[in-house]
Amino acid sequence: MVTASATLELVLPDGSVRTVEAGTTPLGVAQSIGPRLAKDAVGALIDGELVDLRQPLERGGRLEVVTPKHARAGDFVRHSAEHVLADAVKRLFPEAQYDAGRKDHSEKFQYDFRIGRAFTPEDLARIEEKMREILGEDSAFERIEVSREEAKRLFAEMGESLKVERLDDIPEGETITLYRHGCFTDLCRGPHVQRASQIGAVKLLEASGVHWRGDESAEMLQRIYGTAFSTPAGLESYLHAIEEARARDHRRIGPELDLFSFSPLAPAMPFFHPKGAFVYNRLMSFVRELQTGRGYGEVVTPQILDVDLWHTSGHYDNYREAMFFTEADERQMAVKPMNCPGHCLIFATRLRSYRDLPIRYADFGRLHRYEKSGVTSGLTRVRSFSQDDAHVFCSEDQIGAEMEAGARMILEIYRTLGFSAIRIQLGTRPERSIGTAEQWAHAERTLEAVLQQILGSDYAVNPGDGAFYGPKIDFHISDALGRWWQLGTLQLDYQLPQRFDLKYVGADGAEHRPVMIHRAMVGSLERFLGILIEHTAGAFPVWLMPQQAVVLPVSEKFADYGVAVRDQLAAAGVRVELDARGEKLGYKIREAQLQKIPYMLVAGGREAESGTVSLRLRTGEDLGALPVAEVAARIAERERSRSLEL
């Protein structure tokens, strides 16, 4: 009961301000604006945060009433569909217990059940059908506040022991709410739509076994994933987007373009074919070129090193289950999962002066990590790979400049490759870590200061996401389908220099401990190539294409002219081939198109007479007849400037 009638100020999207009594619901506000709005509303936002329409407001702020057209409507719809899913499962399988749904409803919903067996595809079809039936009943979603005891009694009576356990997770003092639609009641924070019919379309996507609370030793529950939208059209465009992603899947495109393959004889270790290796090496030489001008020295280090080294580095204790081991001369050896310990050894080969710092070692060394069998996938998660790895050894007061230089290089790479949306995150101390609390606090403060200096507040903090030896800055990019990928990383490390007892002589003549910065820009080249394939659908920029142009004689009569054109382009440095097969032009164009070859040079009678070619781009654009020299110059220029244009 609100005794003192406190008031709240609400700012509506049109900028107008409403003063309402505390405890007013968003639905009440919507009603006061208009009955139509109140009827259509599926939820509300306060300062961008989701709130249930029936939840009494306790604070003011920017209020948006969310209708089905609103971008966030799906969050309410999917969360509500989640309850409908649990309802449907309980109706079909009364013996099943329901555990919990999903936190993030921006794309999917899910629910976990204890049922003692796996759901079959037929089960899913039946459940989905039952869900539609429930939507047809169009029950209202009710929000009910209850005491902890009441909730406990209710779920205990229903035999829902998983729910009773979930109740204990809710901190003391927090309002406990139930949501009910029809006969189904769930412990839930909300928010939900008003009526089941506001869930316009549902689809169950898949089922899988999951460990209770993610604990590998815990019992296995059965999870069902699905998605829902306000309208069937929304669902359709979602399914269309999934199709689009499937068509760009690098595991499909890679073999189609003859870039790479896998063999069961080396699980999760890619074989790059000549074309794939070309792109791979191009990326590497691009990075090499960038860092060479910035004071990096590239090193080459051993593949297999004594286990003692990994004890020193801490990897043995923390990550030995992800390492490959072998034996030689009765010594235990490990295949390197990282380059850094090797770089520490190089640093320690002589006495270093402060005048030598920063010392920057770059290394494209092949790394092997024994990723668990269930987690590997295409090029994005492999067991054998290399990184554009580097380690900078510097003094404390050089950290800022080194981090900034690293960040700038990383941003330049992403821009060159056509990634413009970038997110930056600071990762702090994880649960498993080495080093003292003081060291961590100091390292985290240092990185934060650098970030603020470079970016202002344009970064996020990701608690617990640091490496085990120090905090890190991660760089994420968004691809052509809007998916986010972590690529670059700058990690600060006070631990390894200490473990390897690295030192340099300062201007004061005393010994000092250097700081180490781990740096990767595109990260694993394998993974990056996978991302780049999906981003471009295999249509790489001209400078990365293994084959840039193909000469297409209109018929075998013009094969000789084709040879002349091809030779002229090749002499200008263009990676070009001649397709002199006795096929029709349309056939050869189709093949070149499917291979994403940027330039198709048609050579027939007209062209032969004038020393030209008709230039067709892989975009389908026809540029007409151009002198061969001009085409050669155009392609060479794109190559030189690493242009994204054709």
Partner RNA sequence: GCCCACGUGGCUCAGGGGUAGAGCACUUCCUUGGUAAGGAAGGGGUCACCGGUUCAAAUCCGGUCGUGGGCUCCA
Rounded Cα distance between 576 and 568, Å, is: 10
CB of 520 to RNA, least distance (A): 9
Q: Does 557 bind RNA (CB under 7 A)?
A: yes
Of 369, 383, 429, 519, the catalytic one is: 369
Stretch in the footprint of RNA (CB under 7 A) among 207-215, 346-354, 397-405, 477-485: 207-215
Q: Does 415 bind RNA (CB under 7 A)?
A: no
Q: Which of 13, 34, 267, 573 binds RNA (CB under 7 A)?
A: 267
8 A C-beta contact, residue 258 and residue 273: yes
CB of 594 to RNA, least distance (A): 6
Q: Does 594 bind RNA (CB under 7 A)?
A: yes
Which token pair is 142? 């009710």
Crossing angle of the two packed helices 274-292 and 399-416, in degrees rounded to 10: 140
Which token pair is 175? 């309002």
Rounded Cα distance between 180 and 186, Å, is: 6
Q: Which of 375, 420, 457, 510 binds RNA (CB under 7 A)?
A: 375
**Neighbour tally for 30: CB within 10 Å:** 22
Which token pair is 148? 């902890």
Q: Does 284 bind RNA (CB under 7 A)?
A: no
369 is catalytic: yes
547 is catalytic: no
Q: Which of 181, 343, 352, 369 binds RNA (CB under 7 A)?
A: 369
Rounded Cα distance between 556 and 549, Å, is: 19
8 A C-beta contact, residue 426 and residue 471: yes
Rounded Cα distance between 577 and 566, Å, is: 7
Q: Does 600 bind RNA (CB under 7 A)?
A: yes
DSSP string, 415-434: HHTT---EEEEEE---SS--
Q: Which of 222, 291, 398, 428 binds RNA (CB under 7 A)?
A: 222
**What mask, x for binding RNA by CB under 7 A, covers residues 465 to 494?**
--xxx---------------------x---
- DSSP bridge partners of 624: 615
Site for RNA in 619-638 (CB under 7 A): 620, 622
340 is catalytic: yes
Q: Which of 48, 171, 173, 214 binds RNA (CB under 7 A)?
A: 214
Cis before 191? omega within 30: yes
**What mask, x for binding RNA by CB under 7 A, covers residues 499 to 538?**
-------------------x--------------------
The DSSP symbol for 585 reads: H
- Burial (0-12, 13-18, 19+ Cβ within 10 Å), 609: exposed
Nearer to RNA, 46 or 367 (CB): 367
CB of 634 to RNA, least distance (A): 16
Q: Does 186 bind RNA (CB under 7 A)?
A: no
Task: Report the alpha-carbon angle 485-283-296, nearest 5.
Answer: 100
Q: Does 602 bind RNA (CB under 7 A)?
A: yes
Nearer to RNA, 286 or 485 (CB): 485
Long-range contacts of 539-542 (CB under 8 A, 24+ apart): 539/596, 539/598, 539/618, 540/279, 540/596, 541/417, 541/418, 541/638, 541/642, 541/643, 541/644, 542/598, 542/635, 542/638, 542/639, 542/643, 542/646
CB of 481 to RNA, least distance (A): 14
Q: Does 604 bind RNA (CB under 7 A)?
A: yes
211 is catalytic: no
584 is catalytic: no
Nearer to RNA, 46 or 550 (CB): 550
Q: Does 206 bind RNA (CB under 7 A)?
A: yes
Scanning 61-179, the segments in alpha helix (DSSP H) are: 73-92, 121-137, 148-158, 161-169
Q: Which of 118, 144, 571, 629 binds RNA (CB under 7 A)?
A: 118
| Amino acid (1-letter code) at residue 539 | A
Which token pair is 286? 């691009």
472 is catalytic: yes
Stretch in the footprint of RNA (CB under 7 A) among 165-173, 275-283, 434-442, 597-605: 597-605
By CB under 7 A, the count of residues binding RNA is: 68
**What mask, x for binding RNA by CB under 7 A, covers residues 447 to 466?**
--------------------
Nearer to RNA, 108 or 192 (CB): 108
Rounded Cα distance between 402 and 353, Å, is: 18
Catalytic residue ranges: 340, 369, 387, 389, 391, 472, 518
Q: Could you list the residues that contact RNA (CB under 7 A)?
A: 118, 120-121, 206-211, 214, 216, 220, 222-223, 225, 251, 255, 262, 264, 267-268, 315, 318-319, 322-323, 337-338, 369, 371-378, 381, 432, 467-469, 491, 518, 554-557, 582-587, 589-590, 593-594, 600, 602, 604-607, 614, 616, 620, 622
